[in-house]
């Protein structure tokens, strides 16, 4: 649906036909999930960030101005903003979803696996290794089992003699710590470039 419209077209049209915004979600949600997953290294937070970003974008689509800017850049701008708030507070906002009456959803077992696949741990292996050194022994061991050995949470729980939720919590905590370090290392992410381009365009 709406293949003939570009992102900007979709956003503009969705002002009078709200459902059209769904097409924007279809186009970008999965890529954005990968974007957040690589930065948060946490499936649940990444998923929630996607939901919140689109909720926020939907609420503020009237404020979008067509200045020749890529619609995706606008979306990612909102996402980026929410991401930095997430790194500061450690929790994903639910305000925009609340305003729209969207329920908070749970990330299922199988989703966890699929989202972690999006992270592509090998691709960011080098940076990861440096950041791993900053973790405590317990966390490092758990993260290693999960991320490098690709063991299931059940196996990890067996190996370390803890429960599955504990294993998941340790991985998530460890990855969050790594993520906040990666974040400081990472200035020229695609979205930064996108933003710079956006600034250039809006000033000219």
Partner 1 sequence: METAIDYLNQVHEDLVDAARRERADLHPVQGRPPRRMPAMGLVAAVVSVLVVAGLIGSGIFGGTEAERGSAVPADGGASTGATGATGGAEAGADEDAATAPAPTPGEIADLSEGGGREAPSADLTRVIRTAEISIVIPRDTFDERFGQAFDAAEASGGFVADSSYADEGGTPRGTFVLRVPAARFGEVLRQVEGLGTVQRRQISGQDVTEEFIDLEARVRNLERQEARLLTFMDRATKIPDLMAIENEVARVRGEIERLTGRLRFLANRVDLATIQAEVSQKPKKAPGGFWDFNRTIARIQAAFLNTVRELLAVAEGLVAFGAAVLPLVLLGALGWGLVRRSLRRADRAA
Q: Judged by CB under 8 A, how many residues of this single chain contact partner 1? A: 34
Q: How many CA atoms lie within 13 A of 71 on its CB side?
A: 20
Alpha-carbon distance of 199 to 193, in angstroms, equals: 10
* 47 is a contact residue toward partner 1 (CB under 8 A): yes
Between 108 and 204, whose beta carbon lies closer to partner 1? 108
Smallest distance from the beta carbon of 41 to partner 1, in angstroms?
Answer: 17
Residues in region 104-163 near partner 1 by CB under 8 A? 105-108, 110-111, 114-115
CA 137 from chain centre, in angstroms, equals 27
* 50 is a contact residue toward partner 1 (CB under 8 A): yes
CB-based burial label for 22 (10 Å; 0-12, 13-18, 19+): middle
- Cite the DSSP H helix spans in 41-108: 43-59, 71-89, 95-100
Which helix (H) or strand (E) segment is 181 a member of? helix 164-185
Alpha-carbon distance of 47 to 94, in angstroms, equals: 12
Smallest distance from the beta carbon of 171 to partner 1, in angstroms?
Answer: 18
Kindly give the interhelix angle for 7-14 and 21-40, rounded to the nearest 10 degrees. 120
Residues in region 5-24 near partner 1 by CB under 8 A? 14, 16-22
Binding residue for partner 1 (CB under 8 A) from 13, 39, 40, 54? 54
Smallest distance from the beta carbon of 23 to partner 1, in angstroms?
Answer: 9
Chain contacts with partner 1 (rule: CB under 8 A): 14, 16-22, 25-26, 29-30, 33, 47, 50-51, 54-55, 58, 97-103, 105-108, 110-111, 114-115
């Amino acid at each position: 649906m709406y293949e003939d419209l570009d992102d900007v077209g979709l956003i503009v049209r969705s002002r009078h036909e709200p459902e059209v915004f769904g097409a924007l979600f279809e186009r970008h949600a999965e890529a954005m999930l990968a974007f957040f997953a690589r930065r948060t290294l946490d499936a649940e937070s990444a998923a929630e960030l996607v939901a919140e970003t689109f909720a926020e974008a939907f609420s503020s689509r009237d404020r979008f101005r067509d200045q020749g800017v890529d619609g995706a850049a606008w979306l990612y701008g909102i996402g980026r903003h929410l991401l930095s708030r997430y790194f500061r507070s450690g929790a994903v906002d639910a305000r925009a979803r609340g305003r729209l009456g969207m329920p908070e959803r749970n990330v299922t077992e199988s989703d966890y696996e699929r989202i972690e696949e999006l992270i592509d741990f090998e691709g960011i292996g080098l940076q990861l290794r440096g950041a791993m050194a900053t973790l405590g022994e317990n966390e490092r061991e758990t993260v290693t089992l999960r991320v490098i050995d690709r063991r299931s949470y059940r196996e990890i729980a067996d190996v370390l003699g803890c429960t599955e939720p504990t294993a998941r919590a340790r991985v998530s905590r460890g990855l969050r710590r790594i993520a906040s370090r990666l974040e400081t290392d990472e200035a020229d992410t695609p979205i930064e470039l996108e933003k710079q381009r956006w600034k250039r365009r809006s000033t000219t």
